[in-house]
Amino acid sequence: MALDERTPERAGRVEPAPRPRGAGVRRLHRTLGLVVALSVVLSTVSGVLHVAMTWTQAPPPAPRPAGEIDAAAVRVGLSEALAAAGADGARPVSASLRAIAGVPHWQISLAGRDVPLYVDASSGAFAPDADARYAAQIASDHLGGAPVRPTGTLTAFDAEYISIFRILPVHRLEADDGAGTRLYVSTLTGSVTRHTDDWRQLEADVFSNLHKLAFIPDKGVRDAVLATLTGGILAAALAGVGLALRTRRKGRGR
């Protein structure tokens, strides 16, 4: 009968099974998968919502000046208009003719000034309130003639009028239609840059918060979180590919 050559301490003790190769990769894949799963779900849901938003939210109309110009009514030149606006000798960066309530107006933009100057091109009268009237006209025309009321002017982007709309400054106007319709208007382009309402904005807010984590106010922190989650998804995917290749090689070796 063969003697048990193990020491008394080792006799009767079960040796742990050797750690299988690839166990660390499997653990990494499992852990990362659990961590980034929520991010994947949120991105997927918000991505589907983004597609649905293209069905319910029309893109902004192409920028185009509203109203036709009666050339025969234009009796005041640009130099005279600058003098009437108190900007005689100034060098405008742009000057256009705009039809406001059917009357041609010079719209003159000066460097360092957000709001253009307006001068009636038929009478030569300075029109300090023309920018607000022109914005209301553009918004009302966009809604088929519905009345609108001004609610402010934006010189910086905010949670509703975000940077993807690009154009600043803009007038904000609302229609009392029960839907919470809001329009953002650029008098420089003569167009509505954004048209939204309570339902459309709810869709946009859900997408922004789920897909772009807009609820994190600091952009640097938000970008870091998004980059980390995206990197985790990439690492989990690469670990899964590595495990699949290892399993395939093992199957061939049998």
CA distance 120 to 124: 5
CA distance 41 to 210: 9
CB atoms within 10 A of CB 107: 25
Residue 53 identity? M
CA distance 82 to 109: 10
- At 63, the pLDDT band (50, 70, 90 cuts) reads low
User: 35-39, 73-77, 109-113, 201-205 — which is least confidently predicted?
Assistant: 35-39
* Domain spans of the chain, in order of start: 33-63+129-239, 65-127
Kindly tell me if the per-residue pLDDT of 97 is higher than 80: yes
Q: What is the pTM of this model?
A: 0.71
pLDDT tens digits for range 124-181: 999 999 999 999 999 999 998 999 999 999 999 998 999 888 899 999 999 999 999 9
C-beta of residue 45 within 8 angstroms of C-beta of residue 210: yes
C-beta of residue 200 within 8 angstroms of C-beta of residue 56: yes
Report the CATH fold assignment for 65-127.
Nuclear Transport Factor 2; Chain: A, (3.10.450)
H helix or E strand, kind and range, residue 103: strand 103-110
